Amino acid sequence: MYFGYAQNESILSALEFLTGKVSTELIPFLNSNYLVHPEMSAGLEALINAAKTAGLDLAITSSFRSYEAQKLIWNEKCQGLRAVLDSNSQPIDLANKSKTEILFLILRWSAIPGGSRHHWGTDLDIYDQKAISADYKIQLIPSEYEEHGPFVDLNNWLNQNMQKFGFFKPYLLDNGGIAPEPWHISFRLLSDKFLESYTYEVFVDHLNQSNFLLIDEARENSREIYQRFINL
């Protein structure tokens, strides 16, 4: 049932992989600190080399992200320690928002812990290192990848070439769930199979075993979360 595991592996092990609680299948990419799935590594290296030939320095700012790392981001947004942004990348005042409203506002830009594609080692956030100064702080907002943004050339090149190397942008369009993320690329051959294995039942099992802020609201809205923010 679960791609990436032998048939005698337990469903629990598959659940732990799909939700970012284990990373034993992943490897460092080119001796860096970024973990990726080994079956993606060659395609990613080829993509980077092709970008370099085009005058771009494609660099990674995020690859595998563990459940605990995603939980930290999530909880800090729930606590107001990190900004929660609206669709225009502007901070939202959460003071008068209900817990359920806050849940969905956070989901617009941040995956629920255990529900991120970054858990699989198939998805990356990327930028053009050549286009910025050493002290530039990357924000990962759409304007950086649009006209007059520092990464517009990379964005345009990726849209024309990434498919040749097996990559696509899962959040290219705004379908009312996750906001468009032009920096987020995914290795389709693997991520499609992992997503197929990540059924609604798997998501519910995960929520029943989890403990993070707004967990009750997440359980109450599990079907909508799965349909709008995971099963894309």
To which H or E segment does residue 59 belong?
strand 58-62
pLDDT of residue 21: 96
Give me the residue spans of the domains in the chain: 11-230
Strands 167-168 and 35-36 come out as: unpaired
pLDDT of residue 5: 44
User: What letter represents residue 228's amino acid?
Assistant: R
Q: Strands, DSSP E only, in 71-183? A: 123-128, 167-168
Kindly report the number of other CB atoms within 10 A of residue 137's CB atom: 5
- pLDDT digits over 74-120, tens only? 999 999 999 999 989 999 999 999 999 999 999 999 999 999 999 99
232, 169 in Cβ contact below 8 A?
no
* Domain 11-230, second-level architecture: 2-Layer Sandwich (3.30)
- pLDDT digits over 171-184, tens only? 999 988 999 999 99
**What tokens does 225 get?**
């979360």
Looking at residue 149, what DSSP letter applies? S
